[in-house]
Amino acid sequence: MRLRILILLALALSLVLPSVAQAQFGSLSVSPTQGPPGTRVTITGTGWDSTIIDHLPIDMLAPVNGPYTYNKEVALIEKVCTDTCGFSTVVTVPSDAAPGSYIFGAQVGHNSVTGAPRIVASATFAVTKATSLGPRCKWRTGVACRAV
């Protein structure tokens, strides 16, 4: 009986897997590759199958190797082409992103066991500490501004 179930399961998978294998997941790149919260980042995707680019969420996730404790959707790519294609979008690094390594990841569904996002392409981005806009000054009567 178990053998029959295994054979039926293998047959069912053989019917499903070819369609999944035909999907072409492309690659992602980001520019710039680092910056503080508030940085505008261009995310570019190349080599994507047009059947994939139909509501493709782009998430910002950390830690880089998972499990993801920071997961925020930053863009949603709509279907924009008819053949193998690409896309480009500009996102802003969220204000609550702490300094460290992140990925911008293209998500296609979720892991059925863990519920974690299924990331099929990613690009690394380093969130840096925000810098001050310049030296702070302390004013005194009759004394010029000086950095403190």
Look up the CATH number of domain 24-127.
2.60.40.1930
Q: What is the pLDDT of residue 112?
A: 80
User: Whole-structure pTM over 0.85, yes or no?
Assistant: no
Domain boundaries defined on the chain: 24-127
Handedness of CA 56, 26, 90, 103 (dihedral sign): positive
Q: At 109, which amino acid appears?
A: G
**pLDDT, tens digit, 9 for 90 and up, residues 63-108:** 888 788 899 999 988 866 766 678 889 999 999 999 999 999 988 8
Which residue type does 29 have?
S
